[in-house]
Amino acid sequence: PAADDVAAGVARAEDVLGLGLRLGVHRGHLRIIVDGPTVRRPGILRRMAARALITGVGGQDGSYLAEHLLARGVEVVGIERPGAASAVDGVTMVEADLSDASSVIGAVEAVRPDRIFHLAAASFVPDSWLHPTPTVSMATVSTSAFLDAIVNVDRSIRFFQAASAEVFGRPTETPQTENTPIAPITPYGAGKALALFLTRMYRERFDLHASTGILFNHESPRRPEQFVTRKVTRAAAAISLGLESELRLGNLDAARDWSFAGDTVRGMVLMVESDKPGEYVLASGETHSIRQLLDLAFGHVGLDWGDYVVVDEQFNRPHEAVSICGDPTKAERELGWHREVDFAGLVAMMVDADLASLQL
């Protein structure tokens, strides 16, 4: 649309609604910019159906979750940081600064969601040592602001907070459950642990429907390339096409509990729809090593990874938990959650997607 049309839209919105909001259009998507805590009147969007507010909607989990909710007829509003100008199909974008409590509260007042899925995070764990303060403040300020907003705006809003197996640090028991001691060893894990405690205390103090998913590693073709699964599947595809000749990795004995992100987001929705808010582990219940990941990924393209993989110290993480394994029994029993994609299916899906994108 012409700039004049957008300007006219802004004028109309401010005249008619008097909300102090700015509207814009980006790549055909309506954009609502919340300037601060000045929004007083609720319900700026005409209510059609259940409305979900998602933070981190442009990321791996946010995009799968948005698609899942839209397919179920839920209206989806995404929060993005000011100036990000991203677009997700079918999602109305609202700009808000998650490190600023008043901006978060303004967004909740403006959007008036029925449910909030708080997924946004700087999720690459080693980077949390490079930027500890923003990592911790992002996880904690935003969660506390959302919970405070729910108490003050509408206590019937249901809240989901994404935590991580990182809250267990080097776990003292295997497999890890909702009762495993929380003992983080990274700034990322510490931020997620405090967010889990905040969510628990607001649930108990104000009887909120607020849940935390303790999410073990979950992957997909949308996983950024620095994570080990995608790094391996992309390299297997590239090497099989003759585009690359080696893959440098850290500890090949490290082992993780990997699920498909599409299964994980279904678990989030089940938590929000359940009668029993609380903490739930979402995990596959299986542990696989990097060597097993390599076997599957390179096997899928008919190669032997031993011919291409080079161990490189720079990718080692000396203090991390070498092996983790989650126990999803509570989510299976109380939410009826079951995965649809197993580890071999996940790796095959990712290699196939990488082959397709490299051949474009």
- Annotated catalytic sites, by residue? 164, 166, 188
| 231 part of the interface to ligand GDP, by CB under 6 A | yes
User: Which secondary structure element, helix H or strand E, spans residue 269, and what is its range?
Assistant: helix 261-273
Neighbour count for residue 129 (Cβ, 10 Å): 13
Residue with tokens 């729809």: 273
74 versus 249: smaller Cβ distance to ligand GDP: 249
Integer Cα distance of 299 and 283 in angstroms: 25
Interface with ligand GDP (CB under 6 A), residue from 315, 329, 332, 348 = 315
Cα 205 off chain centre by: 26
Nearest to 77 by CA among 85, 88, 68: 88
CB 114 within 8 A of CB 155: no
320 versus 342: smaller Cβ distance to ligand GDP: 320
Query: Residue 144 carries which side chain, given as an amino acid letter?
Result: S
Integer Cα distance of 337 and 339 in angstroms: 7
| 209 part of the interface to ligand GDP, by CB under 6 A | no
In total, the chain counts a number of residues equal to 360
Interface with ligand GDP (CB under 6 A), residue from 290, 294, 309, 350 = 290
Query: Residue 67 carries which side chain, given as an amino acid letter?
Result: E
218 versus 300: smaller Cβ distance to ligand GDP: 218
Give the nearest distance from C-beta 172 to ligand GDP in angstroms: 18
Query: Which residues in 111-170 contact ligand GDP (CB under 6 A)?
Result: 125
Span from 48-56, 71-79, 225-233, 332-340 in contact with ligand GDP (CB under 6 A): 225-233
How far lies 294's CA from each of 232, 253, 261, 325, in Å? Answer: 7, 11, 20, 19
Span from 58-66, 173-181, 204-212, 314-322 in contact with ligand GDP (CB under 6 A): 314-322
Give the nearest distance from C-beta 131 to ligand GDP in angstroms: 15
Q: What is the largest CA-CA distance in the chain?
A: 67
Give the nearest distance from C-beta 322 to ligand GDP in angstroms: 7
Give the nearest distance from C-beta 189 to ligand GDP in angstroms: 10
| 193 part of the interface to ligand GDP, by CB under 6 A | no
Integer Cα distance of 202 and 225 in angstroms: 36
Query: Which residues in 247-276 contact ligand GDP (CB under 6 A)?
Result: 249-251, 254, 256
Give the nearest distance from C-beta 81 to ligand GDP in angstroms: 22
Report helix angle 101-111 to 132-153, nearest 10.
40
* Residues forming the site for ligand GDP (CB under 6 A): 125, 217, 226-229, 231, 249-251, 254, 256, 290, 315, 317, 320
